[in-house]
Amino acid sequence: MIGRESAASPGPDSREVLGVVLAGGKSVRLGRDKVAEVFLGQNMLARTVNLLFRVVGQVVVSGRDPSPFGISVPWLPDAVTGKGPAGGVLTVLEAFGRPILAVSCDLPFLREKTLADLLAARDRRPAKALMTAYRRIDTGYMESLVAVYEPAGAPLLRRAIETGSNRLFSVFTEDLRHHLDYDPDDSVAARPFFNVNSPRDLALAREMERIS
């Protein structure tokens, strides 16, 4: 079994960043459960959990029980359902009251360095920043599913969800974000953000895995 924690232990300690794997999606576009897809020797859920453990001390899974995949870490069902990743982020922020490093489970090429650099950027954030995330330099697109969220952002996120807004980059507006820019033309920098949503994505990821 993969894991270091046997039960969730919410607490007020806001100094330690909690790793969160966002795994509540239904894989509708792919047509089968994406987290079971094996890349680089591990299914995507296990790989993401292990990756987070290399940069933070505790990891939880949001949205599903990971034990059928041989993973023994705490997990939380979404307290607010049908709101996508925003519901998962809100659930964990409210349950633990700690900053969280939230990562989607469908990023087969995410790297430890990508996460370590993000955490270092979070340490340099302005006091009012509630979200630390990578940003494409060409379009300004926010990688909101590889991001650190501060517990003070939970009330803002809850209000937004209750009024029908569940896009994380829209809830945490630019004045509330700290950005770590990357160039999408730099394959080393951009590769970690390739996600698997569709059969075409999966086929491309298999090719990327083969030539890596």
Residue type, 17: V
Range list of H helices, 59-149: 85-96, 112-123
Extents of the domains making up the chain: 18-211
- Tokens representing 169? 């980059």
pLDDT digits (tens, 9 = 90+) for 72-129: 999 999 888 888 899 999 999 999 999 999 999 999 999 999 999 999 999 999 999 9
Within 8 A by CB and 6+ apart from 192, the residues are 107, 109, 110, 111, 114, 146
Query: In terms of CATH, what superfamily is 18-211?
Result: Spore Coat Polysaccharide Biosynthesis Protein SpsA; Chain A (3.90.550.10)
CB distance 190 to 183 below 8 Å: yes
Res. 41 pLDDT band, cuts 50 70 90: confident
pLDDT of residue 29: 62
Say what the pTM is.
Answer: 0.89
Range list of H helices, the chain: 44-53, 85-96, 112-123, 154-162, 168-171, 187-190, 199-211
pLDDT of residue 4: 54
pLDDT of residue 8: 38
